[in-house]
Amino acid sequence: MSVELITVLMLTSLILVIMMGFPIGFSLAGVATVFGLIFVGPHIASTFMLRMHVTLSNYTLIAIPLFVFMGIVIEKSGLAGRLYDAIYVLTGRLKGGLAIATVLTCAIFAAATGVVGATVVTMGIISMPAMMKYRYDKPMASGAVCAGGALGILIPPSILILVYAPVANVSVGALLIGAFVPGMILALLYVLYIGIRCFINPEMGPSAADGGVHYTFWQKSRMFCVSVLPVLTLILAVLGTIFFGLAAPTEAAAIGAFAAVLLALGYRKLTAAMLMEAAIRTARTSAMVYLVVIGASFFTSVFVRLGCGRVIESSIMGLPFGPWGVLIVMWLIIILMGCFLDWIGIIMIVVPLFTPVAVKLGFDPVWFSLMNIIVLQTSFLTPPFALTIFYLKGIAPPEVTLADIYKGVVPYLLLMLAALLLFSLFPDILLFMPRAAGLI
């Protein structure tokens, strides 16, 4: 059987099994085993065992349970509500101020938790009723929550980056540091978009603070110091230790987890029951991520051993579009897969195939990884399989329809494309931070 045929068979059977609903990790491992046993031989099982030990002893991946734990503890410390209150006291008088506060809170909260689902659910519960009360435009309001939540996989520390870096063979520190700037730029674009639209058409987002209580400057400062400052310090301390090379990302994650417990203690939300639940949820979420990583390592080992990697590489390189055309095709594939697959599945399937091609075409691997991560955000926003939309529909006030949310995410998707264009024209925007830190 020719290598080309094996490549096609292996990929189609994988996609088929995954689409039929079998867990992605087991699908990857199972398809790898079938093809490995047939085309390599029974000793493939020893290769798998070694792969498993390599994954389980990978120092960088150990940051996953630590960041997951940090996120759960912060989520349970009731931080989101405090953040939102503090920020909207500052922005509430602006037209569209509640939606702007939503995006900013999402950005901070998403950074601290690193998980999209938790951000969308928490922020939806907190901000949607307030925005509906002031008769905000429903699509714009719901789009702000979804797009703000999707920032969670981009703005570091993020679980996605920890999974992505070893797969692409890129420094995890460089990605964590590098993702900070594009995350901020996207959040800024969302804020500007809301501000401008509401300035032109105040009906969409009337200013809200007039009806409420008036706060003095000192009260505002105090709210800012109690709510926003500690968590910002926490995030910047984690990133700062990596940036200045004081500690490995794994150690920084442990310190972040430790500090999150102190934060919860400060907010008087620390209980034994909460810690117990955080521990078991951390173990389960991490086991889920690790299973996919282990299954993908089996799949890649068979795929590369049989020469399928080269088949993919030469067929992508053979596309008659030039380097940028090839990149655009790759991103279109990621966006398309995002309509059906979860981010972790997309990373495990396409990143090992695409990265060597992009490097051969002369693109910087760190830049390419960051661009992919930005593109991966769309997987949360593009129907039919759009997690944020389902989460938001689940908790939004009943007058917000699914159509409102679908309509609402479109402008934010366009803003992501605008940002991608910007980073393509000026790649240094993505690269100057990792360079300054000496990580690339």
| Residue numbers at the binding site for other proteins (CB under 8 A) | 17-27, 29-34, 37, 42, 44-46, 48-49, 52-53, 56-59, 62, 65-66, 69, 246-247, 250-251, 253-255, 257-258, 275-276, 278-280, 282-288, 290-292, 298, 340-342, 344-345, 384-385
Residue among 345, 391, 365, 392 nearest 131 (CA): 392
Report, in Å, the least distance between residue 68 CB and other proteins.
9
Report, in Å, the least distance between residue 123 CB and other proteins.
22
Q: Report the chain's C-alpha Rg in angstroms.
A: 22
The single-letter code of the amino acid at 5 is L
Q: Which is nearer to other proteins, 58 or 207 (CB)?
A: 58
Cα–Cα distance, 422 to 413 (Å, whole number): 14
**Cβ atoms < 10 Å from Cβ of 419:** 19
Report, in Å, the least distance between residue 303 CB and other proteins.
15
Q: Which is nearer to other proteins, 65 or 365 (CB)?
A: 65
Report, in Å, the least distance between residue 71 CB and other proteins.
13
Q: Which is nearer to other proteins, 267 or 340 (CB)?
A: 340
Report, in Å, the least distance between residue 147 CB and other proteins.
22
Q: Which is nearer to other proteins, 277 or 428 (CB)?
A: 277
Residue 225: exposure state from Cβ atoms within 10 A (0-12, 13-18, ≥19): exposed
Q: Which is nearer to other proteins, 48 or 193 (CB)?
A: 48
CB 101 within 8 A of CB 224: no
Q: Which is nearer to other proteins, 66 or 161 (CB)?
A: 66
Report, in Å, the least distance between residue 423 CB and other proteins.
29
Report, in Å, the least distance between residue 228 CB and other proteins.
25
Q: Which is nearer to other proteins, 27 or 105 (CB)?
A: 27
Sign of the dihedral through C-alpha 431, 432, 433, 438: positive
Cα–Cα distance, 303 to 24 (Å, whole number): 16
Q: Which is nearer to other proteins, 62 or 140 (CB)?
A: 62
Distance of CA 280 to the CA centre of its chain: 22
**Cβ atoms < 10 Å from Cβ of 62:** 18
Q: Which is nearer to other proteins, 362 or 384 (CB)?
A: 384
* Angle in degrees, CA 367, 368, 369, rounded to 5: 90
Q: Which is nearer to other proteins, 339 or 361 (CB)?
A: 339
Report, in Å, the least distance between residue 45 CB and other proteins.
4
Report, in Å, the least distance between residue 31 CB and other proteins.
7
Q: Which is nearer to other proteins, 119 or 285 (CB)?
A: 285
What are the tokens at 254? 């442990």
Q: Which is nearer to other proteins, 130 or 341 (CB)?
A: 341
Report, in Å, the least distance between residue 352 CB and other proteins.
18
Report, in Å, the least distance between residue 239 CB and other proteins.
15
Report, in Å, the least distance between residue 384 CB and other proteins.
7
